[in-house]
Amino acid sequence: MKKYFLTALLFTLLFPTFSFSQEQATPAPVIIQKERAPNRIEAGFYIKFGPSFPIGNFSLEQTFYDKVTNSSRSSGTTFKKVTFHPAKLGFAMDMGYLIYIGPAFAGNHLRLGIDASFIAFSYNPAADLPDTISGSKKYTYWYYYLGQKFGPLLSICPVDKLVIDISYKLNAYVAYVQHPIGTEFKSDFGKNLTQNEISMNIRYAIILFSFQYNFGNTAYNNFNSDNPIHQVENNTYRILVGFKF
């Protein structure tokens, strides 16, 4: 009996110690948090340039007929033909700044901002010009545009330094062209304060590729409210390359 009593007492004293040592040997679980991706979407200056492809009616001849009221009653009303020649492959250049509003979110993969092109210049040569116009002077009959573009921007950084910019901008510009009015070529100025542009940039580090669809009409009346307004369609598709610093 005494032997069993000593055995029970020994087991009672040693069991807590054995259990404690087992608990100490079991390591605590380690929680590993995923490292937050660095912010690669930063504001900066950009310049991009490349070909401008006329599409739609801009690549075709656009004709208008202006009503002309003669001073003589017997002559009645006549019409004067106004022609805008088809546009050919041209050139476009944008210089601007990507402005971001607030920090990046969604794990630093998305960021909202404003795409501001402070200088937007482009031209498209005119086709089907008369043979009497020498080659050295044909550039004076091209379509020229100069303005600015602003609009909302969404930048997406899927991985590393690769960033995709998607923006919609309104383009305000002035335009110039020489075209036939009646029987002679005359200079004509126009404007548009709400030209539309949808664009996408794909950039890695400082290298930039841009795809733009620019659409709208230019209102030509030589900046004279007494002249009839000719709404000339000038839709273009542009593929630009450049740099973002």
For the chain, the first-to-last Cα distance in angstroms comes to: 91
In the prediction, which pLDDT does 35 show?
Answer: 60
In 3D space, the residue among 100, 108, 203 whose CA is nearest the CA of residue 154 turns out to be: 100
Give dist(CA 168, CA 118) in Å, integer.
15
Report whether 90 contacts 124 (CB < 8 A): yes
Q: pLDDT tens digit string along 26-45?
A: 555 655 555 666 788 999 99
In the prediction, which pLDDT does 13 show?
Answer: 53
| Domain 44-244 of CATH type 2.30.31.10 | no
Give dist(CA 78, CA 228) in Å, integer.
15
Give dist(CA 206, CA 214) in Å, integer.
24
120-153 exposure pattern, b = at least 16 Cβ within 10 A, e = fewer: bbbbbbbeebeeeeeeeeeeebbbbbebbbbbeb
In the prediction, which pLDDT does 39 show?
Answer: 83
pTM exceeding 0.85: no
The rounded average pLDDT for each run of 10 residues, N- to C-terminus, in the chain (245 residues) is: 52 51 54 65 97 97 87 69 95 98 93 98 92 79 96 95 97 95 88 97 96 97 93 98 96
In the prediction, which pLDDT does 20 show?
Answer: 46
Positive/negative CA dihedral, 218, 219, 224, 227: positive
